[in-house]
Amino acid sequence: MRSGAVRRLVRQIHLWIGLSLGALLLLAGVTGSALVFYVEIDRWLHPEISAPAASARPDFDLALQTVRQAFPDKQGPWRFEVVGDGGAIPARYYNPPERADRAFAPMMVWLSPDGSSVLRRDYWGDYLMTWLYDLHYRLLLGTSGALIMGYAGLASLFLLFTGVWAWWPRKGRLRSGLRLKLRANPVRSLYDWHKLAGLIGAIPLLVVFATGAMLSLPGETRTVLEATLGPVSDVAPPLVQPQASAITIKSAIAAAAERLPDARLAWIETPGASKNVYTLRLQAPEDPSRRFPHSYVYVSATDASVLTVDDIRIHPSANVVLNWLHPLHEGSFGGIALRVIYFVVGLIPVALFLTGLARWLIRRKRSSDAAFNANEA
């Protein structure tokens, strides 16, 4: 097959994949852009959790006492997020019995900065930003939605590949291929804007599509990583027979800090019915994820002894790839400038779909009009 025929075939493949997946990619792009700033947007939508200018230091023992008293039927493990900005303390209670009909719907609670009072209570999926998260990740369809998004991500990689192939200029015509003709006819102008958006977004979209597919298909991702990079390390939390906890959260934090002194505390999980253990989740300097880091220290709730340490710095290669998936997908490994870039990248599929669709509709109308005129003649 000659190169011109191959290019025409690739363009047809690109066109029909784009028309098939375009609306889904538009949805994923818009929701993804919003989720880049999902914590900040949620705080703006719920001013009741905004902390006063001079906030007290968080007291997590007091916070645990507060949620136990406010929700006496929630005596299992609680998770507290350590935000470190003097604001409200976010807390989660996983698997609340009143949401037993949902696969994932933890009770979300925000406490005053010192932990002495409850400012807000909600459930995952019942308020805007978590609803958007579920829409972005699983299309509100559970496991089936995750599979759809995962394979759509893989198809999107092929869409990018065919788009670049269809555009790739012949030797000596690179400058012409990059030109934007502002006064061209609508079909040519839409093509130029579509081409420009695609070229600008090609590399970041490659990263976002690939990591999104891997996150949505964790089983398949793990199989590929183990076949190419070696086994994935899984450190199971220790099981200690439940009994009355004798130590405070403060003591558990101190024990974890001794084992990983250069790590930042991110989450605290209190003991539950199946294990008498505090789980401390920490961010080591090498960890790309600030909000959900990958180092853990498990502390006995009986005597504050450290039972197990899972340090990201000794993770094997396959784990390193897994640890980078979320930060690369959402831009959380950088500062505010990188997050703004990711916000814009999420809108590129909108531009690509709208310009591609508009161009196809115009050309289709012209072909129909031409065929009608020919028949009339």
Position 55 scores a pLDDT of 62
376 confidence band (pLDDT: 50, 70, 90): low
* 266 CB burial (10 A radius; 0-12, 13-18, 19+): buried
51 confidence band (pLDDT: 50, 70, 90): low
Residues 189, 180 contacting (CB under 8 angstroms): no
* 175 CB burial (10 A radius; 0-12, 13-18, 19+): exposed
What is the number of H-type helices and E-type strands within the chain? 11, 8
| HSE (side-chain half, CA atoms, 13 Å) at 272 | 16
Position 176 scores a pLDDT of 73
Q: Which residue has the higher pLDDT, 235 or 91?
A: 91
DSSP state of 80: E
Rounded to whole angstroms, the Cα distance separating 204 from 348 reads: 10
Compute how many other C-beta atoms are within 10 angstroms of the C-beta atom of residue 280: 27
Read off the tokens for 222.
């793990």
Range name among 34-38, 108-112, 140-144, 187-191 with the lowest pLDDT average = 187-191
pLDDT tens digits for 187-232? 889 999 999 999 999 999 999 999 999 999 999 999 999 999 999 9
Position 371 scores a pLDDT of 61
| pLDDT higher than threshold 70 for residue 233 | yes
Helix axes of 143-167 and 3-36: crossing angle, nearest 10 degrees: 130
Give the chain's largest Cα–Cα span: 94
Compute how many other C-beta atoms are within 10 angstroms of the C-beta atom of residue 209: 23
| pLDDT higher than threshold 70 for residue 300 | yes
**pLDDT, average across residues 234-244:** 75
Reference 321, options 215, 216, 203; nearest CA is 215
Those residues whose C-beta lies under 8 Å from the C-beta of residue 377, and which sit 6 or more positions away, are none
4 confidence band (pLDDT: 50, 70, 90): confident
Those residues whose C-beta lies under 8 Å from the C-beta of residue 235, and which sit 6 or more positions away, are 296, 308, 310
**pLDDT, average across residues 355-371:** 86
Backbone Cα Rg of the chain: 26
Range name among 3-17, 59-73, 145-159 with the lowest pLDDT average = 3-17
| pLDDT higher than threshold 90 for residue 68 | yes
| pLDDT higher than threshold 90 for residue 274 | no
**pLDDT, average across residues 322-337:** 96
List the chain domain ranges.
Answer: 3-36+135-230+342-376, 48-76+87-126
Compute how many other C-beta atoms are within 10 angstroms of the C-beta atom of residue 129: 18
Residues 135, 125 contacting (CB under 8 angstroms): no
Read off the tokens for 291.
């909000």
Rounded to whole angstroms, the Cα distance separating 159 from 22 reads: 10
Measure the CA dihedral 159/162/168/170, to 10°. -170
Compute how many other C-beta atoms are within 10 angstroms of the C-beta atom of residue 374: 8
Total length of the chain: 377
Reference 11, options 224, 191, 185; nearest CA is 191
3-state SS, residue 269? strand
Position 106 scores a pLDDT of 97
pLDDT tens digits for 115-142? 999 999 999 999 999 999 999 999 999 9
The rounded percent of the chain whose pLDDT value lies above 70 is 94
Calculate the average pLDDT of the chain: 92
36 confidence band (pLDDT: 50, 70, 90): very high
| HSE (side-chain half, CA atoms, 13 Å) at 343 | 12
| pLDDT higher than threshold 90 for residue 46 | yes
184 confidence band (pLDDT: 50, 70, 90): confident
Please indicate, yes or no, whether the overall pTM of this predicted structure exceeds 0.85.
yes
